Structures are given as C-alpha cells and as structure tokens.
Amino acid sequence: MCAASGARGAPRRGYARPDTPNPRRPVATYDRFLKLRKHAGKVDPQRLFASFLELVEALGWRVSAICRLWASDVDLARTKAAPHGRIRKREENDKERVEIWVPLSAAARAALEWVLSSRQVVGDVWLFPAPRRPAQPWSRHHAKDLLDRATAAAKLEPLAGGDFHRFRRKWVTERKHLPLADVAAAGGWKTVQTLEQSYARADSETMLAVVTEPRKLREAK
C-alpha cells in the first residue's frame, strides 16, 4: 500500500484543486447591518466600530482597505461631482492595487466627520488605530473580532463563511441596476468579471423585474 502524500485532504502535487460546486457565499442584508450598528458601540472600547460599519456598508471595499484609511484620505470639500465629499482608497492598501477617489454618501460623510472630530486627527494618521499599538492601524482580524462580538450582542445567527465579504456582496447586489463598470470602479474591482463571478447575487425582486419589465424589441420604423 502506498503511503499518502501530504496532509489528508490536501490536493496532490501536479493536480488542479477541484472547484467547489456550491461555495459558501452568504449575503448580508440591510436589516442585519442596522441590528449590528445598534450594538457596535457596546463591543468596542474605542467607540469606532459603529463608524467603521457605516463605511463597510457604504463603500463596498475590502475590510483591509478601510482599516488602513488615513485622515488625509478624506476630503470633505463639497463639489458638484462629490456633494458629500470624497475618500481615497490607496493602491498599497488594496489587494488589486487599485487607487481611486470615490464620492461619499451622506451616511459615510457623517461617520467620517464623527471619527475625525472625536479623534482630532489630520494628515497621515490612522483613522482606526490599533488599541494597544496606536502607531499601527486595525487589522482585519481585530475588525472581525468586533463583528463577531456585535453579532453575539445583537443575538444574530452567525452567517457561515465570508465575515465582511457578505457585506461586500450585499453592496454589489443592491447596485445591480447600475452600470457594472461604475459599480466595479467604485468598489475597487479592476474588472467586472470578478465582481460578477464572486459578488453579484440573484435576488427575488430583480428576478421579478426581469420577467415583468422587459423592453420589447420592435421592428425599426
């Protein structure tokens, strides 16, 4: 009998890892966000997690990019293109190496104003400093720990897999009626293919619109 090579369950060298036919990709809801937001201040001694959650809900970015925001990444000047100000996602803080300024929503601006005023910070200073090492930003592990605490405090059933990615899928699904190129750019995807394959999800409301709101193709007159 041949000895098994590698750890049990690990793919053998030279063979492709098999695709998972039904990967776990849960999607959060806005109602779940509101319940978590209500308890966010109770689980974070720094009292920053509520504002952090607002940015997660509003921006659709990877959590690591939000953890590593500087005060200098926030521009609260109101313009026609960005009536609530704008925020920068730096290339070095993004998995796909995308750097972009994105307009803020009213809710995101309010969250950032609270963080900036409460911490009295400007310039290249972390918005979310690590509790015991303020020279370093929050890690995604710390953010996930706060999410788990808020989930327990709100007495919500944990969603299997994905932690903050479930909110990113929510962000995409809520914007399916908008041009994919713009959704991908604002959320930090280089291509719409990744967005469609891993984050966009079908929902009953949109499927109903698909079958009841067609634009009939007519003969040219």
| Domain at 112, CATH number | 1.10.443.10
Whether the CB-CB separation of 69 and 53 falls below 8 Å is answered with: no
Residue 10 lies in a domain: no
Residue 6 lies in a domain: no
Residue 90 lies in a domain: yes
Residue 214 lies in a domain: no
Higher model confidence: residue 112 or residue 11? 112
Give mean pLDDT, residues 175-185.
86
pLDDT in tens, 147-178: 999 999 999 998 876 689 899 888 888 888 88
Q: What is the pLDDT, as a whole number, of residue 68?
A: 96
Number of domains composing the chain: 1
Residue 14 lies in a domain: no
Close Cβ partners of 82 (under 8 Å, ≥ 6 residues apart): 75, 101, 103, 104
Range of the domain at 70: 30-201
pLDDT in tens, 114-150: 999 999 999 999 999 999 999 999 999 999 999 999 9
In the chain, how many H helices and how many E strands?
9, 3
Residue 89 lies in a domain: yes
Residue 212 lies in a domain: no
Mean pLDDT of the chain: 84
What is the DSSP code string of 126-148?
BSSB-SS-TTSBPPHHHHHHHHH
C-alpha 47/C-alpha 131 separation (Å) is 11
Query: What pTM was computed for the model?
Result: 0.80
Residue 218 lies in a domain: no
